[in-house]
Amino acid sequence: MSREKSRTIKVETLARVEGEGALYVKLKGGQVQEVKLKIYEPPRFFEAFLRGRHFSEVPDIVARICGICPVAYQMSAVHAIEGALGVGIDPSVRLLRRLFYCGEWIQSHALHVYMLHAPDFLGYPDAIAMAGDHQAIVQQGLRLKKVGNQIVALMGGREIHPVSAAIGGFYKAPSKSALTGLVDDLKWALDASLATTRWVSGFEFPDFEQDYEFVSLSHPEEYPFNEGRIVSNRGLDIDASEYEENFTEQQVQHSNALHSVLRGRGSYMVGPIARFNLNFDRLPDVAKQVARDCGLQAHCRNPFRSIVVRAVELVFACHEALRVIREYEPPSASRAQAAARASTGQAATEAPRGLLYHRYVLDQDGLIASAKIIPPTSQNQKRIEEDLWHFVSQIATRPAEEITWRCEQAVRNYDPCISCATHFLRLQLECD
């Protein structure tokens, strides 16, 4: 009987990207039997690389973990080490760090919204095919990303793997006029982001909602980047120093990446939807308004709508960058001095794809005794598998090609580093 047929969907491994992944889904009689999202190359080995290195080297080393979100790794690292060493930063440095993060969010979100995720919704295999029919749209996406690149290059010395972030601040602080030079492009980017939000909100979204525990930073006055408590929609409210008491990692046989879970509660979601749901009231009015205009509520539970939330965060990032540039005055010193001492520091910041936790133990000479890095993709991995489990159940009777396509789209809802791999995945279908 055809209903009892067993189908195995395998998405094979791809080589050498920031994360290497594969997807395996087994169906029998229209029911999901097994879902495995495999990640082969988490940045765990960096924790070992860091041992014995001086704390001042850490920002440059961790920037190498990811080519698309190096700023996030630098920011979590500098905050954790500054916490350990008791270093306070200049208010202007704080503003610059927010601007730095704006650049990375714009880069990352523009790439994902336009080049990686939109083709799924419009029925194209990739952005190249999409460009044939939507040239102006693709050009807009490329220009938006370029604005993000400009911010990161100005702040970090170069667009990828920036080199200016330091414990206590930056090796060099930009002049006011250098930042002012970004204003015209950012004003354009703000308008383009609003247009982006309206554009993607018109896509067709699968009817799929889940009861998530959302986790993100929360700051009383700001949409979060670098600071705040770690909160959830189910009552979690902790300092970053309490992270490991509340979250734990589980080894699974099919993946090199550990699965993060909330102790006693299980999977959770980090990333744009979590941030949006938990911090909606701290978005600027322009972002709140466009979200409302596009029918996006503060309790979004459909992961496919993450593309709309990312667009709203583009609006926020452009608006915030303009605010920072308006308020910025160069600091008297670009970085505060940090003296070595035996200590431990933890910090979490908001990478484009979610909460990024770092912990460092330093010895009396300022050398790293141990490091722990928990990236957002590791935190979302279990949740992605659970989404796939439920989502594939809804579409199990569809043709294998469509199931594969939809599975990839569902994985890309999270913009994991393995999204690059899933663009090249190949399907193997086995029927009994």
Partner 1 sequence: MAIRIIGCGNFDRGDDAAGLLVARRLHALGVVTVEQSGESTSLMDCWNGFEHVILADATAPHGRPGQTFIWKAHADKLPEDVFACSTHAFGVREAVELARAMGCLPQSLFIYGIEGKQFSLGAPLCPEVKRAVGSVAQQLLELTRLISPAQATQNRA
* Amino acid identity for residue 50 in this structure: L
Residues touching partner 1, count (CB under 8 A): 35
* Footprint on residues 132-151 left by partner 1 (CB under 8 A): 132, 135, 138-139, 142, 145-146, 149
Q: How far is the CB of 432 from partner 1 (least distance, A)?
A: 31
* Contact status: 254 vs partner 1 (CB under 8 A): no
* Contact status: 230 vs partner 1 (CB under 8 A): no
* Contact status: 45 vs partner 1 (CB under 8 A): yes
Q: Which of 3, 77, 90 is nearest to 43 (CA)?
A: 77
Out of 58, 81, 115, 338, the only residue in the binding site for partner 1 (CB under 8 A) is: 115
Out of 14, 102, 300, 322, the only residue in the binding site for partner 1 (CB under 8 A) is: 14
* Contact status: 1 vs partner 1 (CB under 8 A): no
Q: In Å, how far are 38, 122, 278, 402, 424 from 14, measured between CA atoms?
A: 11, 24, 35, 21, 7
Q: How far is the CB of 321 from partner 1 (least distance, A)?
A: 18
Out of 3, 15, 177, 207, the only residue in the binding site for partner 1 (CB under 8 A) is: 15
* Contact status: 62 vs partner 1 (CB under 8 A): no
Q: How far is the CB of 50 from partner 1 (least distance, A)?
A: 13
* Contact status: 317 vs partner 1 (CB under 8 A): no
* Contact status: 407 vs partner 1 (CB under 8 A): no
Residue 84 or 373: the one with the smaller Cβ distance to partner 1 is 373
Q: How far is the CB of 61 from partner 1 (least distance, A)?
A: 10
* Footprint on residues 367-396 left by partner 1 (CB under 8 A): none
* Contact status: 171 vs partner 1 (CB under 8 A): no
* Contact status: 60 vs partner 1 (CB under 8 A): no
Token pair for 159? 């667009």
Question: Of the ranges 109-117, 181-189, 293-301, 328-336, which one interacts with partner 1 (CB under 8 A)?
Answer: 109-117
Provide the binding-site residues for partner 1, judged by CB under 8 A: 14-18, 45, 64, 67-68, 111-112, 115-116, 126-129, 131-132, 135, 138-139, 142, 145-146, 149, 159-161, 417, 419-421, 423-424
